[in-house]
Chain A
Amino acid sequence: GAGVSQTPSNKVTEKGKYVELRCDPISGHTALYWYRQSLGQGPEFLIYFQGTGAADDSGLPNDRFFAVRPEGSVSTLKIQRTERGDSAVYLCASGTSGGAADTQYFGPGTRLTVL
């Protein structure tokens, strides 16, 4: 079946602009995660959704970052007033249950470049 998809695959924007990154999880997966991977680093947790609600948003770096999942399926990560330091690959993953031992299936990521 279809895996996790993310759009766009690449996004170039200017400092100060607003961007939205989209994640389509595997159908039926209730858990959804956003990660950020900077160059030379491993993925860094941002936020976890269980259904429509953000169960853990402690990884969001500041209030410029916000994510939604209004119908418990597709999620959008929103970044306001982008800064050059936001440049990274943003990864989305989904899982069947969200438990600690739940396998997370990752999408290919969106590469965000802030000029």
Chain B
Amino acid sequence: DQQVKQNSPSLSVQEGRISILNCDYTNSMFDYFLWYKKYPAEGPTFLISISSIKDKNEDGRFTVFLNKSAKHLSLHIVPSQPGDSAVYFCAASATAYTGNQFYFGTGTSLTVIP
């Protein structure tokens, strides 16, 4: 069963606007979350992470929000740039139980239109 879900397979955004990518999870034991970015023919690249003790983490243009009660996290990219066009995966881990196993969503393909 898919414990991490990204229900939007694709998203298109104008350059300069905000991109919001969403992720839902089902396992309440998950306490560490990451976002990865993937370009074609390359491996995923780590983007940003958040621990369950926080509800927000910001790094430059990228901010991740965590809503534990809703089991939902989102990645905001502001302002969006054409180079942000890629597939974005969210991943989660239950660090106290299976700390080295990350469960990935199916990805959202972001296209930033110049």
Interface stretch among B12-20, B37-45, B55-63, B66-74? B37-45
A33 to B43, CA, bound (A): 13
- Given A43-B44, A103-B46, A109-B43: A56 touches B100 (CB 8 Å cut-off): yes
Q: CB-defined interface of A43-72 with B at 8 Å, one 1/0 digit per residue?
A: 111001000000110110000000000000
Q: CB-defined interface of B71-114 with A at 8 Å, one 1/0 digit per residue?
A: 00000000000000000010101010011111111110000000
Query: Which residues from chain B contact A42 at a C-beta distance below 8 Å?
Result: 4, 6, 89, 91, 104-107
Query: Which residues from chain B contact A108 at a C-beta distance below 8 Å?
Result: 41-43
A100: contacting residue among B42, B99, B107, CB under 8 A = B99
Give the Cβ gap from B8 to chain A, nearest Cβ, in Å.
14
Interface stretch among A14-22, A80-88, A91-99? A91-99
> Which of the four size classes fits the interface of chain A?
20 to 34
Query: Which residues from chain A contact B49 at a C-beta distance below 8 Å?
Result: 101
A103 to B49, CA, bound (A): 9
B93: contacting residue among A43, A100, A103, CB under 8 A = A100
Let me know if B98 and A56 touch, CB within 8 A: yes
Please name the residue on chain A nearest to B9 by beta carbon.
A40
Query: Which residues from chain A contact B102 at a C-beta distance below 8 Å?
Result: 43, 45, 104
Query: Which residues from chain B contact A104 at a C-beta distance below 8 Å?
Result: 46, 102
Is B32 on the interface with A (CB-CB < 8 A)?
yes
Let me know if B45 and A106 touch, CB within 8 A: yes
Give the Cβ gap from B34 to chain A, nearest Cβ, in Å.
8
B100: contacting residue among A55, A107, A109, CB under 8 A = A55
Q: CB-defined interface of B24-42 with A at 8 Å, one 1/0 digit per residue?
A: 0000000010001000011
7 contacts between A and B (CB under 8 A): A43-B91, A45-B103, A55-B100, A101-B95, A104-B102, A106-B43, A108-B43
B residues with a Cβ closer than 8 A to A are: 4, 6, 32, 36, 41-46, 49, 51, 89, 91, 93, 95, 98-107
Q: Top 4 A-B pairs ranked by shortest CB distance? A: A106-B43, A42-B104, A100-B95, A100-B99
